[in-house]
Amino acid sequence: MIQHEGRCDDGTDDPCPICRGEELDPDFLAMIEAAAAQPGRVMTGEEAIEWVRSL
């Protein structure tokens, strides 16, 4: 798993599962990959963060 170098922006001071190097839920990863494969408008990074938070 590629870490995102501690760049968490989730409103807390705690590291996220990616920063901690934890394995992410395979169902969650499959959902993200399926969404990324859909044609359509490209989201900005900020829009993507908001989308993930809304799940």
What's the pLDDT at 3? 46
What's the pLDDT at 4? 53
What's the pLDDT at 31? 87
Q: Tell me the average pLDDT across 18-32.
A: 84
The DSSP line for 13-32 is: SSPPTTTTTPPPPHHHHHHH
* Mean pLDDT score of the chain: 77
* 26-31: long-range pairs with CB below 8 Å, 24+: 31/55
Q: What is the pLDDT of residues 5-24, one digit of tens each?
A: 556 665 666 777 777 788 88
pTM of the entire predicted model: 0.44
